[in-house]
Structure 1
């Protein structure tokens, strides 16, 4: 997301900082190569790109002076990422003044890619590419002398300047190009704006970056990538909600699969193994975009909040590791960066010229890193940093000094230092000291290596937002809605004693509570949001009272995710919750019954509030729990749909109610219980009614004092006496006698 730029030369693509080859794929490629060599079946189905390369090589052998064939062969090599082959192909003619521009750009592009894949450090790149007279710059300048308007060559030159740590020169090139009408109206518009904004973001010039991105995003050439870069700017500057919205907006608009793949690579470090395996099975653009939406949305600490804190934290960490732990090969940072991406900033660390040690107190984990001489740190035992020259006794003292320096970081280092000192004190025979020291070093290396694997917490990133949620009972009921939709009444209740209510300025008896809810589909696309603000009476905190609330919306049948957050009037988050909601389908014209909604009370009157059922005067205060006191009546509300009317417009129907204990166990167990008189009490009732509407709203109360303690079920069956159709609905609950 604003981290990389693709520069395309014909079929040739350079990734500025995201490389497509991964080290963990090398073994797989070797195995596949063996299969291709051994199996005649594979040999008969050779890769089309390889076939084309073979054909072009034969043609080039016949006409070695043909630049057209050389171009075609160079492009074919890019499909297999054979950069060495491109260089070997074009190098013999690269100094020839007759060599055309396309070949020069192919060569320079492959040269840059070669330097990146060889893990060239920043200093080496600066030596190779810095200054005005380097070979790559001379070659590109030759192209631009022939065609000063060659936008592709200008982008190449800017890329070389950036790799050589000469950003000012690169910025001047971008500025000139942005003033060129041919660039603005041509195919290079997106590449130039993306490259320049990426440079500004890398330099933390966020205001300037946002300005040019806002302009670019408003053009017809925008395809989602500008929105993604704007999202990065917003996330970097603390506008998490705006950044989240722009990120998903840009993701939805992307049409380039390589850009979608880059977004996944930027999330790769925190992906679970199952997610990595799932990603590799996806073969369509839409499937990959849906995966990324789910990937980030399910990691948000609070689904009710449109600001994804985990998304923001990931990109902040990504910027940090690419600045301080950068390397040119995938994933763009060394193994210190991998740990930082997953674990965040260490609580304590120690560093010297070739080693670093990080400690995370909360995970009781420590990590050791060693620079083996490449300039990039790897997770290794500290013994790998010992001097290769010198005596075993000298290496032992060096190792002991490492542990002593880290003694206060973590108990592991303190224990290792003490063990080394004890072993040294035990060595008494002078002639055996050398072998003894070698043995101690070998044993310590094994222990350090064992401690370095399966680090706690490394495979799973930590929770960003630990919110102490108050106790909450919640449920929902589905009813037939309008225009083939379903009405969902989501209701919840909270003990007042857990809300820690705060008095507001103008009253000594009330406090505010805010409820925010977001309903998402299974791909975490936002369907709707619901907000509630209400006052709570400040009462005796020991009183058995509850705050009861109900949120109502219309949805299409299907599966949804509901996120809910509760905030008090001191802007303190009191709870964050997630619920899976199955929305019933009431589209059919057959007789049906809604879900059964238990109620604290059901009344009829003129009062207008959130508990009034739509198009009625029935006020139902819902009960969100599953446990009911046996000494109190059980009240329920439900709706009957699609009743048949006769010629006079009158409906006629029969309602049967059954409340019975749930019989667990097999048939034999239940039969024995009945035989010996252990059958449970059952409550039944039948009533006939008439009406004038196809939809009837019903409410009823039951005396459940005769039901035994335990799980019970209420079954409501309706029979339409005119059509003969029947429909049923059930609601399970618990009866408490205490």
Structure 2
């Protein structure tokens, strides 16, 4: 309960008739004591008020104020006596009754006595806002953990009168808000009242937290953000820090709900930098998400090693490395925040439900019910078509429990529950307990959580709650084997956490190829080629516009999951088809784009994300790549770039290289009889005295998986491989080559193309290999 200084009562105090000098002395002592009291110096105030009582043992105000000083120091027994003395001395005064009511409010199990005392105070001062306030507080209950709950309906009227008498009261709107929030979840009224409280008392932390919590759990994110912004404008920018944490929480939830993961990540980061270290640790500690052995390794590591372990842990779980944001980490922050809001009512930082939720997210079905009544089964066999929506609303708002677990509209969920009920674990308990049933379809399991002490702390059910487990050895063994805690521990060992990322749009199919060349200053130049069927872009008839853009993100991560390269590019505008395109298996009209960037040589995991702005379709693909190192003076060749066509060209553009227009084939798919065009570059050929080069190029096409043979030992009739050999010459150390390979004699299947270049002057040899597929004719 917030502490309030009783300013109005100080001004209304009346003193008994005394000799003038004695009245002045008592008045002076009371004034000095009140100043000390208002400054929170209660021990010093006590000393001064005791002097006032000694000066005038019949002064009701002196006894009252001494009682208040003792009350603030939790000396309730002596304070109670002083308030009773003040009541006898000042029979018409409300002060003694109010003080006695305050003592009883602070004393366990004396709320009814407090209410009786406050009623007497109200009779004597019906228009005193503070007395009306404390009268209302006698209707505010507490749970077993000592947490204040909402006022009963009868108490709401007193708080309403308080705000009528004192519109700027520092707590009455908050208490009214609580009375609407619990238990009926009248959120609109509660939000207004919390906002009204913050309008007059911007530093009311509880009102702010409840405003944020309601907006969060009821998914009124934008409304909450608007109210916070109004409060900032109302009280000035200097009050913005008061609201920063709640605003960041709502902003993160809003962006996450819109799948705007980059902005959500920024909001979560702002939130975590705004909370204290203990709260931040709940989000950062690996024990809530890692496997037991992983966490042991983490605990045993040094601080620097722990930082590296954390980085690797989250980087290895990033579902879309092409983006800067780690969507898995963003989801973890969301789950922790959810657990802090929903599952922390009876235990810090959350109860057992939070442990499971953070690891595995939302169950496929969750129900709240009263678990057990003697030996009655908690399952119903009749179907309630409205049950699912009622249960979901109840779960999110903390509403009343159902009496039974009801069938759902999902046969997989019902089947899992039925198997659990018949052959595994059956929740049967002595007495009724608030309970929850969670079903995860992908694991084929049901978990129970029970509030066994009625304090809001949900845990796995105590096996001794089941009377059948006590009297039946077989039932007891089954209950123990399939007990929710046992099953959960086994699941955590086998799969410590789970997450399936929603990319935010229908899948966009594409193929991509990555080839390297030697760039300026011997850097590794990477060309990324992406091709997608044009039918996926829709058409102007779908109402998404005449043109579109393609947004691409490319990343390369090393073996330590460090992001070495990140490339972002938008392509377009692109004309969209005027009519829907036919989806075909072959002869598909493809749209191809390319990107060029530089990267350090090495082995990486590449990730490519591409999104069509018009249709919001999105494709994310990953594959390992090795980027060649072109530093040095030895003989080298670039990667082999496969194409559908290569022609000389004087133009400039994305597909022009060294005077050639190259139509890339990112899929490496060719119809039988179609030429496989090959482009590559040779570096560091040795020149003779007149500057001439001389070298051999060998092309070998082999069914994939076949063993390449020594050319000198291969008989001419061997059809295992197709060999083409050319003697070449030139006048440059670096040369550009292309050719077309005939596939008409190749059977459908996958082939390896190996290119070997031998420098006749230096004797050096180097090679490159790629693959392609020959498809049969339709």
User: Which range, TM-score by smaller chain?
Assistant: 0.5 to 0.7
Give CA deviations for 1:605-656 in whole Å, capped at 9, x if unaligned: 133332123xx332212112344333121111111122345676x4413131
Task: For 1:382-421, list aligned pairs within 5 A.
Answer: 384-385=464-465
Cα distance in 2 for residues equivalent to 1:322 and 1:291:
25
Task: For 1:601-612, list aligned pairs within 5 A.
Answer: 601-612=645-656
1:569, CA displacement in angstroms? 4.3
8 Å CA contact 2:537, 2:615 repeated in 1? no
8 Å CA contact 1:495, 1:544 repeated in 2? no
DSSP 3-state at the match of 2:483: helix
Task: For 1:318-329, list aligned pairs within 5 A.
Answer: 318-326=336-344
2:570 corresponds to which of 524, 531, 544: 531
Q: Cα–Cα, structure 1 residues 731 and 344, in superposed 2: closer, same or farther, change >3 Å? A: closer
What is the match of residue 91 of structure 1?
Answer: none
DSSP 3-state at the match of 2:357: helix
Structure 2 unaligned blocks of 5 or more:
1-141, 149-193, 217-223, 239-243, 371-431
Cα distance in 2 for residues equivalent to 1:229 and 1:584:
50
1:502 corresponds to which of 496, 521, 539: 539
Q: Cα–Cα, structure 1 residues 629 and 274, in superposed 2: closer, same or farther, change >3 Å? A: farther
TM-score, normalised on structure 1? 0.55
Q: Cα–Cα, structure 1 residues 521 and 234, in superposed 2: closer, same or farther, change >3 Å? A: farther
Q: How many residues align?
A: 495
What is the match of residue 487 of structure 1?
Answer: 525
Give CA deviations for 1:186-205 in whole Å, capped at 9, x if unaligned: xxxxxxxxxxx999988988
Establish whether residue 699 from structure 1 lines up as the match of residue 738 from structure 2.
yes
Give CA deviations for 1:177-235 in whole Å, capped at 9, x if unaligned: xxxxxxxxxxxxxxxxxxxx999988988768999xxx99xxxxxxxxxx999976752
What is the match of residue 302 of structure 2?
Answer: 283
Structure 1 unaligned blocks of 5 or more:
1-120, 128-166, 177-196, 217-226, 387-394, 400-434
Larger-Rg structure: 2
Establish whether residue 244 from structure 1 lines up as the match of residue 287 from structure 2.
no
Cα distance in 2 for residues equivalent to 1:230 and 1:241:
17
Cα distance in 1 for residues equivalent to 2:344 and 2:616:
39
1:475, CA displacement in angstroms? 2.0
Establish whether residue 726 from structure 1 lines up as the match of residue 765 from structure 2.
yes
What is the match of residue 445 of structure 2?
Answer: 365
Give CA deviations for 1:238-267 in whole Å, capped at 9, x if unaligned: 26313435778999x9xx9999976531x5
8 Å CA contact 1:656, 1:687 repeated in 2? yes
Q: Cα–Cα, structure 1 residues 557 and 374, in superposed 2: closer, same or farther, change >3 Å? A: farther
1:380 corresponds to which of 441, 460, 465: 460
Establish whether residue 659 from structure 1 lines up as the match of residue 700 from structure 2.
yes
1:573, CA displacement in angstroms? 2.1
Cα distance in 1 for residues equivalent to 2:562 and 2:485:
39
TM-score, normalised on structure 2? 0.52
Task: For 1:123-134, list aligned pairs within 5 A.
Answer: 124=145
1:479, CA displacement in angstroms? 1.0
Cα distance in 2 for residues equivalent to 1:524 and 1:506:
41
8 Å CA contact 1:597, 1:622 repeated in 2? yes
8 Å CA contact 2:696, 2:760 repeated in 1? no
Higher relative contact order (CA 8 A, sep 6+): 1
Cα distance in 2 for residues equivalent to 1:341 and 1:628:
48
Establish whether residue 549 from structure 1 lines up as the match of residue 549 from structure 2.
no
8 Å CA contact 2:538, 2:615 repeated in 1? no
What is the match of residue 270 of structure 1?
Answer: 289
Cα distance in 2 for residues equivalent to 1:300 and 1:240:
12
Establish whether residue 685 from structure 1 lines up as the match of residue 729 from structure 2.
no
1:337, CA displacement in angstroms? 1.0
8 Å CA contact 2:248, 2:270 repeated in 1? no
Establish whether residue 354 from structure 1 lines up as the match of residue 354 from structure 2.
no
Give CA deviations for 1:645-673 in whole Å, capped at 9, x if unaligned: 5676x441313122232485789x999x9
Q: Cα–Cα, structure 1 residues 583 and 250, in superposed 2: closer, same or farther, change >3 Å? A: farther
Cα distance in 2 for residues equivalent to 1:322 and 1:562:
36
Cα distance in 2 for residues equivalent to 1:228 and 1:561:
37
8 Å CA contact 1:301, 1:308 repeated in 2? yes
DSSP 3-state at the match of 1:483: helix
8 Å CA contact 2:251, 2:264 repeated in 1? yes
DSSP 3-state at the match of 2:643: strand
Establish whether residue 640 from structure 1 lines up as the match of residue 657 from structure 2.
no
1:519 corresponds to which of 543, 555, 559: 555
8 Å CA contact 2:551, 2:613 repeated in 1? no
Cα distance in 2 for residues equivalent to 1:646 and 1:233:
72
Cα distance in 2 for residues equivalent to 1:528 and 1:199:
43
